[in-house]
Amino acid sequence: MQAQRTTVDLTAYPDLMVVMLGFRLRGLRAIPAMMAIGKGLGEIARRHPDGLLHHEGFLFGWNHVGIRQYWRDPAALAAFTRSEPHGGWWRSFLRNPRQAGFWHEAYSMRGGMEAIYVNMPEGTDIGMTGFAPARDAGGAFMTAAGRMAAARG
């Protein structure tokens, strides 16, 4: 039996953004943070914020959850990240990560990529950390938009 090959036509999505997210438990205190994130992700799946085209989850390992999201455009993604409840989840996590690590990488159809890694274990080598040098996430690199602009040159 011959393999059936299919592809997708992305011409209707010229500004498509793909976001990969990961949440890693580094200890037992991370379980409440993971449960809160899980509740929030369930809400995203039910509520489908404007501009979210598709949302799916997977496992990297027993203590590492992954999420892939497809967004219509950078503006829709930025609006979601600045709105509630996302802003509240993010601020709460940054105040107290509870032995949890978080990362995301974003890829733009128009060019540019960016990433942030928060509280990940040393030597994890997740995604771009496997080859690119680390740097402080401050100044021009504080926001996803700033990191994306820097990556484009």
* pLDDT tens-digit readout, 51-61: 999 999 899 88
pLDDT at 42 over 80: no
Nearest alpha carbon to residue 121 among 24, 55, 50, 42: 24
pLDDT at 15 over 90: yes
* Dist. CA 116–CA 134, nearest whole Å: 10
Total residues found in the chain within this entry = 153
Helix (H) or strand (E) holding 39: helix 30-47
What pTM was computed for the model? 0.88
The residue type of 81 is: T
Q: What would the pLDDT profile of 47-92 be if each residue is shown by its tens digit?
A: 889 999 999 989 988 889 999 999 999 999 999 888 877 777 888 8
Residue 90: per-residue pLDDT: 80
Give the residue-averaged pLDDT of 127-153: 86
The 8 Å CB, 24+ separation contacts for 93-96 are: 93/33, 93/37, 93/118, 94/118
**How far is residue 92 from each of residues 10, 36, 52, 85, 131, measured CA to CA in Å?**
36, 10, 23, 11, 30
- Sequence-ordered strand ranges (E) for 1-153: 17-25, 52-61, 64-71, 100-108, 113-118
* Dist. CA 45–CA 21, nearest whole Å: 15
Question: Could you give the count of Cα atoms lying within 13 Å of 145 in the half-sphere of its Cβ?
Answer: 9
